Amino acid sequence: MLRIFRFMSFKYKILAFFSILLTIFQALAFLVVPMFISQLITFMSLDQVTQFKILIWTFSVASTNAGVQTLGACLAIAILIGTLSGLTSSYFAAHVSTGGARDIRDYLWRHLSTLSQKDIETLSHAKIMTRFTIDINRIQMGIISFLRTMIIGPANLILGLTFALLTDLKLSISFAVLIPLLSLTMIISAAIIGPTFKKEQKAHDQINNESQENILGAKVIKSYNLEANQAIKFEDANKKLGSISKRAWLSFNSTFNIVALIANLVVVIIFGVGGSTWINGAKNPFEYASFIGNINSFVQYTMIVVNGVVLTTFVLFNTYRANISVKRILEITNIKPDIPFVNSDKQVSNGHIIFKDVSFSYYDQADKNIIENINFEIKPGETLGIIGPTGSGKSTIVKLLSLDYKIKHGEILIDNHNIQEIDTNSLRNNISHVYQNPTILSGTIKSNLLFANPKATDEDVINATKISCAYEYINRFGKKYEHQLEQKGANLSGGQKQRLSIAQGVIRKPKILILDDSTSALDAKTEAVVRNNIKEAFKENQITTIIVAQKISSIMDADKIIVLNHGKIADMGKHDELLQRNELYREIALTQMGGGNE
């Protein structure tokens, strides 16, 4: 549990220290209350009592009334100190738990943003969402339990036991029954409840996973008429979670009922031992008053000890659950980024790209590489087209250029700098990667464009949409650029989403623009206009463009075309050259364009 404090700011660590300190003051203040009450009973039962004892110290007073007043004042001060200490400690603990949870959430988010695509693929979306919600909430509860209950529970247990022994050694025989029974109950409960809570958190992961699948795959589920099957699947997962949670909390609540039974049993033993001692002993008024006071104090200390055990058990359960969540958070934060963040004076300036003997596989133990010995050069301002059969490695090449994955063999140079040595901010600011499946966020059209470039002006927004041919359809909406979009652009057509995504790419004014099959939903005429608009808009700034495509029409005007086959460059050249000499390119052209003459 302590490991989680390293993610918190110094301010919360200081508040945590004072919260613990004040909790100790609270425990000590309330522990002396039974002693004051016991002495008050003696003073109020007898006349001419001029001494009272607190722990091992004896104090003298002028009269019985003075003793009552002194003890009453001490009792009031102890209660006041305990109450104020408890309130202040709770205030600090609440700040630490809520602020600390926020710091952990921020740290987790920042760490996730440093991970490469390969790193993120090792984690499921459902698991990540569970870490951000349920796990951090449990850590928050664990922190407040740790700061308050973890201190006050053991303090009540240890100090309550000490004060009880100092009050009456004979009555302490009751602890010979209390401590073993409570310990046995706690051990059995921990053995049952601990693993059950662990299973409960895994069941939460499963529920989140099922929910996400049903939401994201709603169209497919409906089209295949699988609603009933998915409902049964979700119901099974939900029943499993309900069953595990029920078992955990039944065991948890049963523990407290058993503890209450043991506490009452011990009170009976205290009165039995005390009554026997009184019957067989002296019976003068002073001893009688002392006996009543001691019995009262001892019962209260016994309840404090029981309360200490209950609180300690409660916090151990809470801490156990929080520790599981801490481990799950650390599973992510301990992932070292495959591609480290680079601060360097090496910048992207012109968009001159060279691939030198680049080979890559997604898995370290793969039998063969996805791409093999890739070599090519793109000069600033040129357009490169990449085409080939499905699975030939087209998208892999541009993912390596965007550093979605770490290059394992060979070298990629941008402006004569190794891509892995270029300043990360410069690299990200100067490469716009437009994917086939656009990422459209819920919000307005304008907010989606500003997401790509927060510094863009209204003029930049309009120009970007004109370049991508999104301007016309946007202006048909009543609110135009303030038109509200649903998550993932559910209220846009495929072509509209792709044009908006291209606008997001060009509004960043990059040196390198990658269109990764991002015009597949556009008709040939619109696609040609978009390509021409990009070329004209960046004529002066020389944008280097890479177009990955399945269609010959998307790349036929490129300065250079790479034909990929089985992860290797089968040929490279212009459209007309490849039609003449490359059989694979010619076959694609014949299939799509009726001979390549259109």
State the DSSP string of 239-250: HHHHHHHHHHHH
Confidence of residue 281 (pLDDT cuts 50, 70, 90): low
Question: What is the arithmetic mean of pLDDT over 224-245?
Answer: 79
- Which two three-digit tokens encode residue 41? 């009973």
**What is the residue whose two structure tokens read 């259109």?**
598
The phi, psi pair for 218, rounded to 5°, reads: -55, -45
Weakest mean pLDDT among 303-317, 345-359, 502-516, 552-566? 303-317
pLDDT greater than 70 at residue 596: no
% the chain with pLDDT above 90: 27
CA 282, 283, 286, 287 torsion-angle sign: positive
pLDDT winner (highest mean) among 35-44, 301-310, 392-401, 487-496: 392-401
Q: In what order do the strands lie in the sheet with 568-573?
A: 431-434, 512-516, 544-548, 383-387, 560-565, 568-573
Identity at 393, one-letter amino acid code: G
Torsion sign, CA atoms 368, 116, 335, 237: negative
Please say if the pLDDT value at position 259 is more than 80.
no
Whether the full predicted model's pTM is greater than 0.85, yes or no, is no
- Parts of the chain belonging to CATH 1.20.1560.10: 2-333
Residues with Cβ within 8 Å of 358's Cβ and at least 6 positions away in sequence, in order, are 371, 373, 374, 375, 397, 400, 407, 409, 410, 411, 412
How confident is the model over 336-349, as a mean pLDDT?
A: 87
Q: How far, in Å, are 81, 151, 433 from residue 24 at the CA level?
A: 11, 7, 57
Chain-centre distance for alpha carbon 441: 21
Q: Which element (helix H / strand E) includes 42?
A: helix 33-45
Q: What is the pLDDT of residue 475?
A: 92
CATH class name, domain 353-439+511-593: alpha beta
Query: Which pLDDT value is given to residue 597?
Result: 43
As a whole number of angstroms, the distance between CA 167 and CA 54 comes to 9
Per cent of the chain over pLDDT 70 is 90
Least confident of 256-260, 446-450, 521-525: 256-260
Q: Tell me: pLDDT of 10 over 80.
A: yes
Contact yes or no for 29/85 (Cβ under 8 A) = yes
Burial 240-258 (b: 16+ CB within 10 A, else e): bbeebbeebeebbeebeeb
Residue closest to 502 by CA, chosen among 452, 542, 454, 567:
452
Residue 290 confidence class, pLDDT cut points 50, 70, 90? low
Residue ranges of alpha helices (H) inside 442-544 are 445-452, 458-467, 471-476, 494-506, 524-537
Q: 89-93, 213-217, 506-510 — which is least confidently predicted?
A: 213-217
Q: What are the structure tokens assigned to 501, written together?
A: 């995504």
Tell me phi and psi for residue 573, to 5 degrees.
Answer: 165, -165
pLDDT band at 223 (very low <50, low <70, confident <90, very high): low
Has residue 5 got a pLDDT over 60?
yes
CA nearest 542: which of 346, 345, 347, 353? Answer: 353
Over residues 211-221, the pLDDT tens digits come to 777 776 766 67
Nearest to 298 by CA among 419, 160, 423: 160
Of the ranges 50-54, 267-271, 530-534, which one carries the lowest mean pLDDT score?
50-54
* φ and ψ at residue 472, rounded to 5 degrees: -65, -50
Residue 371 to residue 394: CA distance in whole angstroms: 9
pLDDT surpasses 70 at 579: yes
Higher pLDDT, 219 or 205: 205
Q: Which residue intervals of the chain bear CATH 3.40.50.300?
A: 353-439+511-593
Q: Which of 27-41, 114-128, 329-343, 518-532 has the lowest mean pLDDT?
A: 114-128
More reliable by pLDDT, 361 or 168: 361
State the Rg of the chain over Cα.
37
Cα–Cα distance, 576 to 557 (Å, whole number): 10
Has residue 18 got a pLDDT over 90?
yes
| Residues 171-199, mean pLDDT to the nearest whole number | 75
Cβ pair 398, 546 in contact under 8 A: yes
For residue 514, pLDDT beyond 60: yes
- Residue with more model confidence, 534 or 256: 534
Mean of per-residue pLDDT scores for the chain: 83
- Between 307 and 376, whose confidence is greater? 376
Residue 67 pLDDT: 78
Chain centroid to Cα 370, Å, comes to: 33
- Greatest mean pLDDT range, 68-77, 254-263, 378-387, 402-411: 378-387
Q: Are 545 and 506 in contact (CB under 8 A)?
A: no
CA angle at 329 for the pair 149 and 487, rounded to the nearest 5°: 115
Q: Is 106 left (phi over 0), alpha (psi -120 to 50) or beta?
A: alpha
Q: Which residues contact 380 (CB under 8 A, 6 or more apart)?
A: 350, 351, 352, 511, 542, 544
Question: Is 2-333 in CATH node 1.20.1560.10?
Answer: yes
